[in-house]
Amino acid sequence: MSRAKNDQNSEHIKQVLKLVGERIRSLREAKGERNYEKFAFKHDLNRTQLWRYENGEDLNFSSLLKVLSALDISLAEFFSEGFDQPTK
C-alpha cells in the first residue's frame, strides 16, 4: 500500500474514532449524565479511558461493548445514527 493510501486510511480511522467519541458523549449527556467522571464511577468504567474514548482516541472493541452496556444501548442502535455518511 502506498504512503498516500496509508495516510488516507489513518485519517479515515481518526474521523471515525472522533464520531464514536462524539456519539458516546451525546448518549451519556442525553441520559442526564453531564459529568463523565461520575458516569464512569457509577458504571465501573475507567474514567480516564472514558475521557479518551469521548475525545476520539482508539479503543478496544470489548471496551466499547462495556460502555454501550452502561449506556443501555445495543451496537445496532449505537451505529444507527451518524455513521451512514462517508468520512473520506
Q: What is the CATH number of the domain that holds 66?
A: 1.10.260.40
Q: Is residue 84 part of a domain?
A: no
Q: Is residue 45 part of a domain?
A: yes
When divided into structural domains, the chain yields a total of 1
Which pLDDT score, from 0 to 100, does residue 1 have? 60
Q: Is residue 9 part of a domain?
A: yes
Range of the domain at 31: 3-74
The answer to whether 68 and 59 are in contact (CB under 8 A) is no
Q: Is residue 36 part of a domain?
A: yes
The answer to whether 7 and 65 are in contact (CB under 8 A) is no
Q: Is residue 52 part of a domain?
A: yes
pLDDT per position as a tens digit, 28-87: 999 999 999 999 999 999 999 999 999 999 999 999 999 999 999 999 999 998 887 655
Q: Is residue 67 part of a domain?
A: yes
Q: At 78, phi and psi to the nearest 5?
A: -60, -45
Which pLDDT score, from 0 to 100, does residue 85 have? 66
Provide the grid cell at 16: 471515525
Q: Tell me what the mean pLDDT of segment 17-22 comes to.
A: 96
Q: What is the pTM of this model?
A: 0.86
Which pLDDT score, from 0 to 100, does residue 25 have? 98
